[in-house]
Homo-oligomer: A and B are copies of this chain.
């Protein structure tokens, strides 16, 4: 019962349940890959599927497809299919999608500071999908 100070309550938007808008945002752009995808689309007009794969060597094609579909469904990216042989599909940011970039940049800055405070460890070998022959 009763109003809280922190603007919470149970809502649902596009199938995502959340208590505050911030939670909704995380449902939309959170996760392991979506920020990366948006980030790669940040300073180009469009990228095709294969280019995105090359940009993120450690994502599987299934995950990439899945995340792209969700981003598209949420109106953050456009998906343009060119009916050619071989097929070509290009992805680009929508206006709402561009609105996220500043937030990602802020996250990026925070990450850098965090990095600076704690320092780096050795990452060891890189288990990229691309590098596997």
Task: Give the chain B neighbours of A4 by CB distance below 8 A.
Answer: 55
Q: Are B96 and A114 interface neighbours, CB within 8 A?
A: yes
Pick the contact of A12: B35, B113, B122 (CB < 8 A): B122
Q: How many copies does the complex hold?
A: 2
Most buried by B among A12, A31, A100, A110: A110
A115 in contact with B24 (CB, 8 Å): yes
A113, B99: Cβ atoms closer than 8 Å? yes
Residues of chain B within 8 A (CB-CB) of A87 are none
Contact A108 B10, CB 8 Å, known A113-B99, A117-B75: no
Which A residues form the contact surface with B (CB < 8 A)? 4-6, 8, 10-15, 17-26, 28-32, 35-36, 39-40, 42-43, 55-56, 58, 74-75, 96, 99-100, 102-104, 106-115, 117-124, 126
Other than the given A18-B111, A22-B35, 15 more pairs (CB < 8 A) read A6-B55, A8-B55, A11-B120, A12-B124, A13-B118, A13-B120, A19-B56, A20-B111, A21-B109, A22-B108, A22-B111, A23-B35, A25-B111, A30-B30, A75-B118
